[in-house]
């Protein structure tokens, strides 16, 4: 703007000087030669003035085009930095994935065929991804369904079907005790008897995405290379359609153990097996004594969804949350992407820093669409303590509970979600560590 004003002023002064010179010459009584020379000079000045005017108008148009391009580039760069972490910062050694066993945890659902049909349909190789169905409960109709797949899967059955005696007050949790017992036996079989070095665990009531196997195959290399990671999950606890973007390739680190389609290495199982709990194994995994400040990888768009409303949890969370979470229907070639941004050194340097560099807004501004006219830009929404977090989570439809102080899908207390097509990071005012005594 300043350059344009100076240019216009210069042109104006130049024309004014030419006019003054002309008037001065015209006031004299020139002879014929001088008069002709003056007329010729006047024509040249007029032609030159017109050229300058045309050039000024052309420069003005060029300047406007450059300003438009600069603004578009700034917006595009801002979006790339604030929604998707940079891909290349610090490289890591590529570790090809071994055979990845797929362990299907089954009991008495004859609908296990729905899960098995999808696993068989989407797996690229039976050799690379052997399917092992581990069945508890001794339910014969379900066993018959599984046996019909024996040419494509392995079927193992938990040998211990005895009842578990519990105090009367805990009898309502008996199903959770049996599940924990089954998991310990099944994973022991996979890692010891079958001798697999890594496994993907799915429940028999999960639907999967077309790129389910591609996702785990590609992320295995990151998991194996980074000791601060201990699992990869296909699940996003806040994966409701209105809370996520369409960025199917976008992945995150999370301090919250998600489950519902997850991968671990044998070395982690050898660490967990001796102290495996009698019940509530998933919450036990979320305790600091097991997590040891390690994180999991999770997707923006889930690669699994559940159709199992009926089960030991009796539909807990299903009607309120789970039934609204849908898996991706796209196939993302994760093996062709640079996933080095998920390595802790890279991720903490970019993702966390970028989040705290975003404009800070209030929930009222978001809900009323005030104070944030540029909808393409990500923003930060701040909470201060558990009560503040729960209030904001409920306002925007997020899951509002904590496990050992960690909010679902959170990383360093930061929970990412979409609201009205805008990226929002719900983040603590000043995160230092989790309040591990907080369970809700």
Nearest to 252 by CA among 83, 109, 126: 83
Nearest to 393 by CA among 438, 355, 434, 363: 363
Residues 251, 297 contacting (CB under 8 angstroms) = yes
The H-or-E segment that residue 203 falls in is strand 198-203
Catalytic residue among 35, 108, 207, 282: 282
For the question of residue 117 being annotated catalytic, the response is no
Question: What angle is formed at CA 82 by the lines to CA 87 and CA 334, rounded to 5 degrees?
Answer: 35
276/269 Cα distance (integer angstroms)? 9
Residues 123, 144 contacting (CB under 8 angstroms) = no
A 10 A CB-CB count for 409 gives: 25
Nearest to 341 by CA among 333, 353, 329, 349: 349
50/254 Cα distance (integer angstroms)? 65
φ/ψ of 166, rounded to 5, equals: -135, 155
191/197 Cα distance (integer angstroms)? 7
Any idea which residues carry the catalytic annotation?
282
């Amino acid at each position: 703007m300043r350059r344009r004003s100076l240019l216009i002023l210069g042109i104006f002064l130049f024309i004014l000087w030419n006019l003054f010179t002309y008037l001065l010459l015209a006031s004299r009584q020139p002879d014929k030669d001088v008069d002709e020379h003056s007329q010729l000079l006047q024509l040249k000045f007029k032609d030159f003035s017109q050229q300058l005017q045309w050039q000024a108008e052309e420069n003005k148009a060029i300047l406007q085009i450059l300003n438009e391009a600069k603004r578009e580039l700034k917006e595009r760069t801002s979006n790339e930095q604030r929604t998707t972490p940079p891909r290349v910062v610090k490289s890591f050694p590529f570790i090809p994935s071994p055979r990845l066993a797929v362990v299907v945890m089954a009991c008495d659902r004859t609908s296990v065929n729905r899960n098995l049909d999808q696993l068989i349909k989407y797996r690229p190789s039976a050799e690379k991804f052997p399917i092992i169905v581990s069945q508890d409960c001794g339910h014969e109709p379900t066993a018959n369904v599984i046996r019909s797949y024996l040419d494509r899967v392995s079927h193992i059955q938990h040998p211990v079907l005895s009842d578990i005696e519990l105090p009367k007050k805990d009898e309502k949790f008996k199903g959770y005790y049996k599940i924990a017992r089954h998991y310990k036996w099944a994973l022991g079989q996979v890692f010891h008897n079958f001798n697999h070095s890594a496994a993907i665990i799915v429940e028999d009531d999960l639907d999967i995405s077309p790129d389910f196997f591609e996702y785990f195959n590609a992320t295995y290399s990151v998991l194996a290379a980074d000791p601060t990671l201990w699992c990869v999950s296909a699940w996003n606890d806040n994966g409701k359609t209105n809370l996520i973007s369409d960025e199917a390739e976008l992945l995150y680190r999370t301090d919250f153990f998600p489950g519902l389609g997850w991968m671990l290495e044998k070395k982690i199982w050898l660490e967990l097996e001796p102290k495996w709990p009698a019940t509530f194994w998933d919450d036990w995994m979320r305790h600091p004594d097991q997590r040891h400040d390690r994180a999991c990888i999770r997707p923006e768009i889930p690669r699994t969804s559940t159709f199992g409303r009926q089960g030991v949890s009796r539909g807990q969370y299903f009607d309120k949350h789970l039934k609204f979470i849908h898996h991706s229907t796209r196939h993302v070639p994760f093996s062709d992407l640079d996933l080095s941004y998920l390595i802790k050194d890279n991720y903490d340097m970019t993702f966390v820093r970028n989040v705290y560099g975003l404009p800070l807004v209030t929930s009222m501004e978001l809900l009323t669409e005030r104070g944030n006219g540029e909808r393409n830009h990500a923003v930060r929404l701040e909470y201060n303590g558990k009560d503040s977090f729960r209030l904001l989570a409920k306002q925007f439809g997020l899951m509002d509970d904590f496990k050992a102080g960690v909010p679902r899908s959170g990383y360093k207390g930061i929970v990412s979600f979409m609201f009205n097509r805008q990226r929002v990071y719900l983040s603590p005012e000043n995160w230092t560590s989790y309040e591990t005594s907080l369970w809700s």
